[in-house]
Amino acid sequence: MNTKSRLIATLLALNVYAGFTAPAYAQPTATATTPSSSQTQFDLGMLYYGGANFPQNFVKARTLFELAAAQHHAEAQYMLALLYLNGEGVTQSFSQALPWLEKAAEQGHASAQYNAAILYDMGDGTEQDLHKAFELYTKAAEQNFPGALFNLATMYVKGEVVQQDLQRAQDLFLKACEQGVAAGCQEYEKLLLNTEN
């Protein structure tokens, strides 16, 4: 995976929750005790994470995400991973993020599958494992996750852990383009021109 691909992957991963709007029912109150529902814990954690309605607090967000994650809440598991990936309220640690990504990925969480694939692809926080990266990119791409479509196409172009298949790569780049990945449009056009010549 080249630097350009990694930059696209990172930007997509970091912007997943940029537009999050917290639900009104999750507003904390002065008398609130620790909520028991994993969804309520997650929602409250997102309020602390986003800091839109009151001061941002990554430590409280992490505590609430951990409670929800222990109850197999995939979004909470993913948000815990993001805290570790970004070093928000914790020391940045790809190796600490990976287990949370894998737990959410096992539940079909496309963003978690994609981000775990990047860690395996780059060997960040774990040993590089292109077979595992390919597997996770494929699962996320099956859900039309833009970055996964692009990175999977790149693997087909290079013939990394899979037989080179330029037609499959072209199809994936087109899907990435349709999902708003400008580099996917460029790579699709490049492959289209190469097949016409």
Residue 18 · residue 48 · CB < 8 Å: no
Instruction: Say how far apart CA 168 and CA 185 lie, in whole Å.
Output: 15
Helix axes 166-178, 182-196, angle to 10 degrees: 140
Instruction: Identify whether the C-beta of residue 67 lies closer than 8 Å to the C-beta of residue 88.
Output: no
Mean pLDDT of the chain: 85
The residue among 21 and 2 whose pLDDT is bigger is: 2
Condensed to tens digits (0 to 9), the pLDDT of residues 24-46 reads 334 443 334 556 799 999 999 99
Name the least confident of 6-15, 16-25, 77-86, 131-140: 16-25
Let me know the angle formed at the C-alpha of 79 by 108 and 9, rounded to the nearest 5 degrees: 70
- Determine contact, residues 76/45, Cβ cutoff 8 Å: yes
Residue carrying the six token digits 């997650």: 42
pLDDT digits (tens, 9 = 90+) for 35-76: 679 999 999 999 999 988 778 999 999 999 999 999 999 999
Q: What predicted TM-score, i.e. pTM, was given to this entire model?
A: 0.80
Q: How far apart are CA 165 and CA 175, in angstroms?
A: 16
